Structure 1
Amino acid sequence: MNTRPPLPPFTEETAIQKVRAAENAWNNQDPEAVSLAYTPDTYWRNRDTFVTGRAEVVEFLTQKWARELDYRLIKELWAHTDNRIAVRFVYESHDTAGQWYRSHGNENWEFDENGLMKVRRASINDQKINESDRLFHWTAPGPRPDDHPGLTDLGL
Structure 2
Amino acid sequence: MTRMPVPPFTHADAVRKVRLAENAWNVRDPEVVALAYTPDTRWRNRSTFLTGRAAVVGFLTRKWAVEHDYRLIKEIWAHGDDRIAVRFCYEYHDDAGQWFRAHGNENWAFDAGGYMAERHASINDVPMAEADRLFHWPQGPRPDDHPGLSALGL
Shorter-chain TM-score bucket reads over 0.9
CA distance in 2, matches of 1:3, 1:25: 17
Match of 1:149 in 2: 147
Any residues of structure 2 matched to 1:6-155 within 5 Å, and which?
6-140=5-139, 142-155=140-153
CA-to-aligned-CA distance 1:54-101 (integer Å, 9 cap, x gap): 000000000000011000000000000000000000000000000000
Q: Give the match's secondary structure for 1:135.
A: coil
CA distance in 2, matches of 1:3, 1:123: 28
Query: Which amino acid counterpart does residue 153 of structure 1 have in structure 2?
Result: A
CA distance in 2, matches of 1:67, 1:47: 16
% identity of equivalent residues: 71
Q: Give the match's secondary structure for 2:107.
A: strand
CA distance in 2, matches of 1:51, 1:4: 21
Query: Which amino acid counterpart does residue 6 of structure 1 have in structure 2?
Result: P
Query: Which amino acid counterpart does residue 87 of structure 1 have in structure 2?
Result: V
Deviation at 1:152, TM superposition (A): 0.2
Query: Which amino acid counterpart does residue 152 of structure 2 have in structure 1?
Result: L
Deviation at 1:3, TM superposition (A): 1.1
Q: TM-score, normalised by structure 2?
A: 0.99
Q: Tell me the number of residue pairs that the alignment of Structure 1 and Structure 2 aligns.
A: 154
Q: Give the match's secondary structure for 1:106.
A: strand
Query: Which amino acid counterpart does residue 148 of structure 2 have in structure 1?
Result: G
CA distance in 2, matches of 1:62, 1:51: 14
CA distance in 2, matches of 1:12, 1:3: 19
Query: Which amino acid counterpart does residue 148 of structure 1 have in structure 2?
Result: H
CA distance in 2, matches of 1:138, 1:52: 33
CA-to-aligned-CA distance 1:23-75 (integer Å, 9 cap, x gap): 00000000000000000000000000011000000000000000110000000
Cα RMSD of the aligned pairs, angstroms, is 0.4
Q: Which runs of 4+ in 1 moved over 4 A?
A: none
